[in-house]
Amino acid sequence: MLTGMQDWARKRVYGADHDDLDTGPRPGREYRELVAGPLDGLLVDVTGWTVSELGEGAALLTELARYGGGRAVYAPRPGAPELWDWAGDTP
């Protein structure tokens, strides 16, 4: 879980290329931290998402999920919407 801005700055953003020198969050962007599951600890960029979209969470493509090439499903944590908890994997 995030404990301060320095911890946040060290996090890797989902979808960032492993070869990039800077895979961390960018100023002026909005992020949610993924908790548990195959993408644990990554940040997902939600800049520009509507309130409705933020409330739904996301099904994120990953080779690390139970179904290779499937999606890891994350949903906002009640009472702490900046954290998205893993809800399972889907093909």
- Per DSSP, the three-state class of 72 is strand
**Residue 42 domain flag:** yes
pLDDT category of residue 2 using cuts at 50, 70 and 90:
very low
d(CA 86, CA 91): 15
pTM of the predicted structure, to 2 decimals: 0.83
Q: Which domain holds residue 85?
A: 5-17+28-90
> What's the pLDDT tens digit per position in 6-34?
565 578 898 876 677 778 899 999 999 99
Region of residue 62 (left: phi > 0; alpha: psi -120 to 50; beta: else): beta
Mean pLDDT in residue range 54-66? 90
**Residue 22 domain flag:** no
If one counts the domains in the chain, the total is 1
**Residue 23 domain flag:** no
Radius of gyration of the chain measured on its C-alpha atoms = 13
